Amino acid sequence: MKCRVCREPAVIDIRRHNANFCVPHFEKYCRDQVVKTIDEFEMARPDERLLVAVSGGKDSLAVWDILHDLGYAADGLYIGLGIGDYSDVSGQHARAFARQRGLHLIEIDLRESYDYDIPTASKVTKRVPCSACGLSKRHLFDSAALEHGYDVLVTGHNLDDEAAVLYGNVLRWQTDYLGRQRPTLPGRHGFPRKVKPLVRLSERETAAYCVLRGIDYLVDECPMAAGNKHLRYKEALNATEAASPGSKHAFYFNFLRNAAERFVDDNNDASTLGSCQRCGSPAESELCAFCRLVERTAGAEPVPVELVRKSSR
C-alpha cells in the first residue's frame, strides 16, 4: 500500500476516495478537506474569532488542532456536564490539549454554575439524557459565544454524525429539522454563526488524525449514549458504506446540493418568538427552554449516572 502522493509506504486507506496516504500526506489531506469545507460553506474569515465546543473527544480536538494550525484565532469551550467519570476524564483531556498548545479554554461547570447535572436533569424532567444535554449545550454555547464576543461557534460534527442525523430526519421526514441541517447556519438574534468544518471527514479519519498527531483524546463513548438511536443509524449507514464506498458522502453532500434549500422555510424561525425574562434568549413563553430546565432541576437530589443509563435504554 503506497501513498497516492509520494509513493512512500501508506498508513491509511480511504476507500471512498480510492486513495492511500502516508502520515504527512494524510495530515495534509485532513487539513485540505477542512479548508475546502470552510471555503465552500463560507464558515469563517481569517480575521474572525472562533469558539470551538470541546468535549475532549477526537472530533472536537481534531478540529481545534486543524483550525489552530491553519492560523485561526480559535479558543475552546468545555462544559462540565456532570456525567460521572466520563465528564471528569473528558475535562482532563480538554485541559491537557489546551495546556500543551498554549490555547485558551473557557470552562463552564453545570453543577457549579447552575446546580444541576445531566443525569439529574434527565431524571427530573423525564427527558432522555441527550435531549436535556443538547438543550443545555446549545444554550451555553450560544450565551458563552455572545458574552465573550466570538463571531463563530465551531463544533466537531463529522461526516458520520451528519449522515446519521440526516438519515434519522429523512426516515421520519422531519422537514423542520432538514431545514436547518446545513454545515453553516448564519448568526441570528445576536448569536454567532454555527459551523461544522469536519463534515468532509469520517469518524475513522478524525480518529486516525488524532492518533498520528499524538492527540490524547477520550476514547470512551458517553455512558448516556447507550441505546441512542443515532448509534443505530450509524450502524445502518456503515453497512451500506462497506458494500458501496462513498454512499455516506453522496447521501449527505447530494442532500446539501439538491435538497437542503427546499426545506429552509419549514424550519420554525425563532424570530417570531419573544425574549426570555431571565436570560434574554429567544423564548416561546416567559422563560426560555433552558431557564425552564434550570428552574425544574436546580437543587434536586443528584441522580447517579448508572440509574439514568439503565432506565433510558
Site residues (CB under 6 A) for ligand SF4?
81, 118, 129-130, 133-134, 222, 224-225
Total residues contacting Zn ion by CB under 5 A comes to 11
The interface region with Zn ion, picked from 79-87, 114-122, 147-155, 277-285 by CB under 5 A, is 277-285
Name which of ligand SF4, Zn ion, none residue 224 binds, using a CB cut-off of 5 to 8 Å depending on partner kind: ligand SF4
Cα dihedral sign, 70-76-81-84:
positive
Q: How far is the CB of 271 from Zn ion (least distance, A)?
A: 17
Q: How far apart are CA 205 and CA 160, in angstroms?
A: 10
Binding mask 15-54 for Zn ion (x = CB under 5 A): -------x--x-----------------------------
Q: What is the DSSP letter of 222?
A: P
Nearer to ligand SF4, 12 or 80 (CB): 80
Name which of Zn ion, ligand SF4, none residue 134 binds, using a CB cut-off of 5 to 8 Å depending on partner kind: ligand SF4
CA distances from 253 to 143, 162, 230, 256, 313 (A): 30, 10, 19, 5, 32
Residue 2 phi/psi, 5-degree rounding, is -115, 150
Nearer to Zn ion, 17 or 230 (CB): 17
Nearer to ligand SF4, 129 or 183 (CB): 129
Q: How far apart are CA 289 and CA 285, in angstroms?
A: 9
Name which of Zn ion, ligand SF4, none residue 236 binds, using a CB cut-off of 5 to 8 Å depending on partner kind: none
The angle that helices 289-297 and 118-125 make with each other, rounded to 10 degrees, is 90
Q: How far apart are CA 58 and CA 219, in angstroms?
A: 7
Name which of Zn ion, ligand SF4, none residue 222 binds, using a CB cut-off of 5 to 8 Å depending on partner kind: ligand SF4
Residues that bind Zn ion (CB under 5 A): 3, 5-6, 22, 25, 276, 278-279, 281, 288, 291
